[in-house]
Amino acid sequence: MIKANLVFTQYAKSFNVHITNLEQLSVEQIQEIENFVKIRNGIFDFNAYTFSIQKKIEFTEFVELIEHSNIQAKLSEHIIQVKFQPRVGFGQYKGMQYNELPDSYMLWLKSNYRGYDRDAIEKELKRRKL
């Protein structure tokens, strides 16, 4: 059975996981990942092959969570270099930097937001290849 390739990225108040080989996983494996995310009140984004959970944990804690689940996975950590970024001035993520937002929210902004930070949003979307 193919193991899920999970790439963990830590942000200030949350984390994001990219499943690099989602299309190769079985339905049962995908359902197991969905259940893992659902239990933790997270968001699974099939379009971006990612999931995010609005809780700050470290990579080692994430590894322990996966080890105690039924998910068979290869884990790696993506370390981002944080530079000054504009901050969100509205909504549930107010005060967070755009590079800290979950992919699902960035995709929502891409389709729905036309405000003053549009350039920062476009730059972040391009950086994430969304």
pLDDT in tens, 38-95: 999 999 998 889 999 888 888 999 999 999 998 999 999 987 665 667 888 888 888 8
- Which residue has tokens 């059975």? 1
Instruction: Show the tokens assigned to 30.
Output: 């995908």
Residue 30 clears pLDDT 90, i.e. is over it: yes
**pTM of model > 0.75:** no
The answer on pLDDT for 13 being more than 90 is no
Query: CA torsion sign, 96 to 110 to 17 to 70?
Result: positive
Backbone CA torsion sign across 87, 121, 91, 115: positive
Q: Where are the domains of the chain?
A: 4-78
